[in-house]
Each structure stands twice: as structure tokens, then as C-alpha cells.
């Protein structure tokens, strides 16, 4: 028996069956969890979870959401869409998968859209809500050639021409490398395959961060993008509301050590995804705790979708990605990775890391933000808005949480229809 898996099982069940309580910070209400509220039910859940994971099957009475266990290609096929997988090698040797989604019966309009996910997510995120609700499907049904990228280290990008994901060398990157190498390589591949000179870019969370890095450090990519849509943009982070992230950001050295060892032991998150999906089907109310921990209260996500979401995320990421974000929280800057003064002098010729020069970004940017986003604060988004040269839209979404931009039941009406109109007008 793999006792390390039992530890994960118990941790997940602790979360989904724990007693909730509310607390106040900055005038807002958040939820967390304390102790296990019912020992008998927790033990029953634990036994059920062990049987499901270790035996690879359902127990009687367990209602499973099929979409939680299907791959992105299987999901597309289930709903009648065509999905292509393209392999792209970056300049520094990482092998990424780019997914191309084609509509069921739509007439192609010749326009190409590239979607880039956030941290601990993947291309899966753009289709999990299903037809008529998920942005990927909506774009495909309206005739767009939809390409969905994946960053190094997630489940669709676990290979390198020389390095093994089980070794720490594979994980020596931050989101700067994603913006500097991954996104440019995927964009070049998409434009080469389609014959288009430009595309439309839609990013969520770290997907926006990587865009800002790319166009700051490789401004020639401004000429390859018609327009950028920024969902829950992340650059400046001093005012972040998440209590968890603020607390963890104070312990960057420990965080880096812990996550590095975790990735060395479990480079794949498939096991955790399968178990959280199963646990969410068993205890859907408590399952919301797993989302509250990061994004706060009052999300607009249907409970029935939670097992599907947690069946596909979290996926892989490096320790340095989290540490780099933590540095932004502590410094109040949007800057390159801080290695410490001595190494900074070698890497940058400066004692502290330089800022990303977002004034070099000349692409028209449409921004979507909220007052209830625990990871992208209004004040920080406003700083970004003030520095970008060409902001064409600044859209406020009341009470939206960080994941609502992808999974809210009303995201089509609030966000996606507007994106479609903007692209159609361009």
C-alpha cells in the first residue's frame, strides 16, 4: 500500500468534511475550516476514498461526474468537437502540447484565437463548463480557429529533450520562462500552421502575466497580436486579498523547499485530481472549501461543476513560480526573479531585479477585473492599467472571484459575449 497516497486522501477529506467558520478581513467575509466535525462520517469518507483510489473503482452509491475523469480530447469528442494535439519545442528544450479546437458545424471566419491558462491549470480549463458555456466552445461555435496553450510543467507539458520531470533540474523555471520561451514558441507555431500573420490573445491569471512578460521582453511579438483580452490580470500584487497567499508569501524559502520536494516526489497531479473529483461528488458542500481557501467567498460557480473543475486542476507548476509571485506581493513591484544581491549582480548587473517594462506593450488590451478577486486586486489592476499604453476597455465585474472568469454560470453574458463583439468589430 502506498501510504503517501493515504496522507493525501486524508488531507482532502479533512478539507471537504471539516467544520466551516467565517472570519472578517478588510470588511469582507471569508471561509476556512478547522477540525473534523464528525468523526464517524469522516472515517466513512476516508474508507470510501481509499477503496476508490487504491482499487481504481467506484463504490456502490457513488455518483461520479464523467467529465471529471475525461481527458481534454475525450471531452471534445464527447460533445462533438474536433481536437488536435500539436507538439511544440521551446528554445530551451521543453516540449509543450497545444490543443486546437474546431467547431461542430460553424463556418470558419479565418480569425485565430490563442487561449493561455493560469497557474496550476491547463488548456482543459477553457472547455470544462461544456458547450454554450465554456469560452473555448463558444469561440469555436462562432467560427474561430481556437488554439489553447500549455505552460511547461503542467500535465500536457511534462517533457524536455534532455531533462526528466522527476529531477529538480526540470523544475528550475518561473513564469518568466513561460513568457519568454513557452508563449512565443506556441504563438509562432500557431501562426505557422494557420498562415495568419496575427492572432487574438486571451489570458487568465498567470496567462496574463506571461503575456506581459513576453511583450515586455520580446516587444517584436506586439506585431503578432491583434488584441489581448486580460481576464483577472496579474502583474502588481501588493494589495492581494487572499489571506493564505499573504501569509505564505512571508515564508518564501520554506515554500520553495516544500514545493520542490513535492514535485520531485509527485511530478504528476493525476492522482490528486482523481481523488478530489471523487471526494467532491461524495461531499459537494464541503468540497467548496478547496476553492474558498484560495479565492474567497460568494463565487458564481454551480456546485455540480466543482468535481469537474477539481478533476482537472491543480496541475503541475514549479516552486519558483509560486515564490516569484510571493516576491511581487512582498515588493509591490512587477519585477524579475530576485535571486539575492550576489546572484542578481551576475544575472542582471544590479543588486535588485529590474522591473518588466510594460510600456513596451503596444497591443490593444481589454481588461476584466472584480472587487471580489482574492488574487487580482482592483488597486493592483489599476496600477497596471495606468502603465499600459493602449487599454481599450476596463470592465468591472461585481463580486466575481478569481475562478469565476472561467467557470461562472453567467460568464458568457458578463464576459465572453463582449469578447466576441470586440473581435468581430476588429
Contacts 24+ apart (CB under 8 A), 20-23: 20/286, 20/289
Of the candidates 191, 24, 161, 162, the residue with the CA atom closest to the CA atom of residue 100: 191
Neighbours of 37 (CB within 10 A): 13
The helix/strand/coil state of 251 is helix
List active site positions. Answer: 205, 402
Q: Are 385 and 367 in contact, with CB atoms under 8 Å apart?
A: yes
Q: What does DSSP say about strands 94-102 and 145-148: parallel, antiparallel, or unpaired?
A: antiparallel
Residue 250 to residue 190: CA distance in whole angstroms: 40
Cα end-to-end distance, the chain, whole Å: 58
Residue 63 to residue 377: CA distance in whole angstroms: 37
Residue 116 to residue 102: CA distance in whole angstroms: 17
Amino acid at each position: 500500500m502506498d501510504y503517501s497516497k493515504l496522507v493525501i486522501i486524508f488531507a482532502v477529506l479533512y478539507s471537504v468534511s471539516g467544520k466551516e467558520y467565517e472570519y472578517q478581513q478588510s470588511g469582507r467575509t471569508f471561509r476556512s475550516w478547522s477540525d473534523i466535525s464528525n468523526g464517524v462520517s469522516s472515517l466513512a469518507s476516508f474508507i470510501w476514498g481509499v477503496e476508490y483510489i487504491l482499487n481504481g473503482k467506484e463504490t456502490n452509491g457513488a455518483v461520479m461526474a464523467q467529465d471529471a475523469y475525461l481527458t481534454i480530447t475525450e471531452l471534445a469528442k464527447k460533445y462533438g468537437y474536433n481536437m488536435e494535439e500539436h507538439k511544440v519545442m521551446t528554445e530551451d528544450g521543453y516540449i509543450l502540447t497545444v490543443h486546437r479546437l474546431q467547431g461542430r458545424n460553424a463556418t470558419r471566419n479565418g480569425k485565430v484565437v490563442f487561449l493561455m491558462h493560469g497557474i496550476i491549470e491547463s488548456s482543459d480549463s477553457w472547455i470544462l463548463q461544456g458547450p454554450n458555456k465554456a469560452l473555448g466552445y463558444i469561440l469555436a461555435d462562432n467560427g474561430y480557429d481556437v488554439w489553447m496553450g500549455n505552460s511547461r510543467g503542467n500535465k500536457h507539458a511534462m517533457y524536455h529533450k534532455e531533462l526528466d520531470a522527476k529531477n529538480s533540474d526540470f523544475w528550475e523555471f518561473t513564469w518568466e520562462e513561460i513568457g519568454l520561451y513557452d508563449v512565443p514558441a506556441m504563438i509562432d507555431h500557431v501562426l505557422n500552421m494557420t498562415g495568419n500573420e496575427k492572432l487574438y490573445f486571451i489570458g487568465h491569471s498567470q496567462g496574463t502575466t506571461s503575456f506581459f512578460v513576453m511583450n515586455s521582453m520580446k516587444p517584436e511579438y506586439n506585431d503578432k497580436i491583434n488584441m489581448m483580452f486580460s481576464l483577472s490580470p496579474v502583474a502588481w500584487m501588493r494589495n492581494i486579498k487572499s489571506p493564505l497567499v499573504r501569509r505564505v508569501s512571508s515564508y518564501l524559502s520554506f515554500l520553495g523547499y516544500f514545493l520542490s520536494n513535492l514535485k520531485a516526489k509527485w511530478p504528476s497531479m493525476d492522482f490528486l485530481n482523481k481523488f478530489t473529483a471523487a471526494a467532491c461528488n461524495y461531499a459537494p458542500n464541503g468540497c467548496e472549501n478547496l476553492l474558498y481557501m484560495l479565492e474567497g467567498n460568494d463565487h458564481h460557480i454551480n456546485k455540480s461543476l466543482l468535481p469537474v473543475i477539481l478533476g482537472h486542476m491543480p496541475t503541475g507548476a514549479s516552486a519558483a513560480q509560486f515564490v516569484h509571485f510571493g516576491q511581487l506581493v512582498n515588493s509591490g513591484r512587477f519585477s524579475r526573479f530576485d535571486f539575492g544581491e550576489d546572484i542578481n549582480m551576475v544575472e542582471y548587473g544590479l543588486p535588485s531585479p529590474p522591473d518588466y517594462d510594460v510600456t513596451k506593450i503596444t497591443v490593444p488590451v481589454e481588461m476584466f477585473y472584480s472587487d471580489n478577486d482574492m488574487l487580482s486586486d482592483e488597486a493592483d489592476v489599476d496600477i497596471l492599467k495606468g502603465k499600459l499604453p493602449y487599454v481599450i476597455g476596463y470592465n468591472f465585474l461585481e463580486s466575481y472571484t478569481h475562478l469565476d472568469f472561467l467557470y461562472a454560470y453567467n460568464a458568457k453574458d458578463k464576459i465572453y459575449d463582449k469578447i466576441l463583439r470586440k473581435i468581430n468589430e476588429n
